[in-house]
A and B are shown apart, each in its own frame.
Chain A
Amino acid sequence: MESTIARTIGRLVLQFIQVMGLYIAFHGHLSPGGGFAGGTVIGASLVLAVLLDIPFRGKSVLKESFVLAESSCLIVYVIIGFVGIAAGTGFLSNLSARFPPGTPGSVLSAGFMVPLGVAICLKVASTIGSLFWALAREDTQDGVWNA
């Protein structure tokens, strides 16, 4: 997009959007939100960065990292689930599989919920990004992000 106003404002707002998304994802067990909401915010910020043509590090490998994140986050979820079976309780059991409960109210608490939330967050962000890439692909040359 060629608009100077949109690019300048987008550059300013982008980091705040991403910090907001990470906050929502990391505080899913304390406040409204969680992995799905935070991942949507982060995915939308990446779409904004690409639409406004804002340069950032790792832009050339964004498609590959989306594919990697999408597959590995699902595997991480299942591996966390199998920890419960290894501990002698059911699949995806949290505190009964001796995940540390922490202090209720702090960020690092509630057993596996924070890693699970972050995995879902990356998964959803890469889903949004992949969908945008698939839809915007007609405007790109050789699959390079230059929408």
Chain B
Amino acid sequence: MRTVASAFILSLVAVVLIGMVSEMPRFGGSANPALATTYPRYTGSAISDTGAQNIVTAIVLDYRGFDTLGETTVLFTAILAATLALTATKGKTSDSGK
């Protein structure tokens, strides 16, 4: 009974998922929103939006500046943990960071 019920539910989910995938635009098609809307939006107005000629830096430091702040924080936390773990001396706690 359990097997039948789970098979029924799983086939329902499969029907929904297959239906959704068949409705999606063709992978890599030139009319997809990622290529037809997002790409011209950023390549066309990066200089007028940010003043930077390098679009990669314009996205990393301006459009996604908050993400880069998180990236820098990750770096900070990582080096903090590495320094704490590597320079800890057994039995000495006061001068281990010096």
Q: Which of A32, A78, A124, A130 contacts B54 (CB 8 A)?
A: A32
Pair A137/B79 contact, Cβ less than 8 Å: no
- Which residues of B have CB within 8 Å of A102? 51
- Indicate whether A116 reaches chain B with its CB closer than 8 angstroms: yes
- Indicate whether A146 reaches chain B with its CB closer than 8 angstroms: no
- Indicate whether A1 reaches chain B with its CB closer than 8 angstroms: no
Count class of interface residues, chain B: 20 to 34
Pair B57/A28 contact, Cβ less than 8 Å: yes
Pair B62/A113 contact, Cβ less than 8 Å: yes
User: In the complex, what distance in Å separates the CA atom of A92 from the CA atom of B48?
Assistant: 17
A-B contacts at CB below 8 angstroms, number: 99
Using a CB–CB cutoff of 8 Å, the interface residues on chain B facing chain A are 47, 49-54, 56-58, 60-62, 65-66, 68-69, 72-73, 75-76, 78-79, 82-83, 86-87, 98
Using an 8 Å CB-CB cutoff, how does the interface string of A22-43 with B read, 1 for contact, 0 for none? Answer: 0000001111101000000000
User: In the complex, what distance in Å separates the CA atom of A112 from the CA atom of B65?
Assistant: 11
- Which residues of A have CB within 8 Å of B61? 28-29, 34, 112-113, 116-117
- Indicate whether A101 reaches chain B with its CB closer than 8 angstroms: yes
- Which residues of B have CB within 8 Å of A31? 54
- Which residues of A have CB within 8 Å of B57? 28-29, 34, 113, 117
- Sample of 14 further A-B pairs with CB below 8 A, known A94-B65, A109-B52: A28-B54, A29-B51, A29-B54, A34-B57, A101-B51, A104-B52, A110-B62, A113-B51, A113-B52, A120-B72, A130-B82, A131-B79, A137-B86, A137-B87
Using a CB–CB cutoff of 8 Å, the interface residues on chain A facing chain B are 28-32, 34, 70, 73-74, 77-78, 81, 91-92, 94-95, 101-102, 104-105, 109-113, 116-117, 120, 123-124, 127, 130-131, 134-135, 137, 143
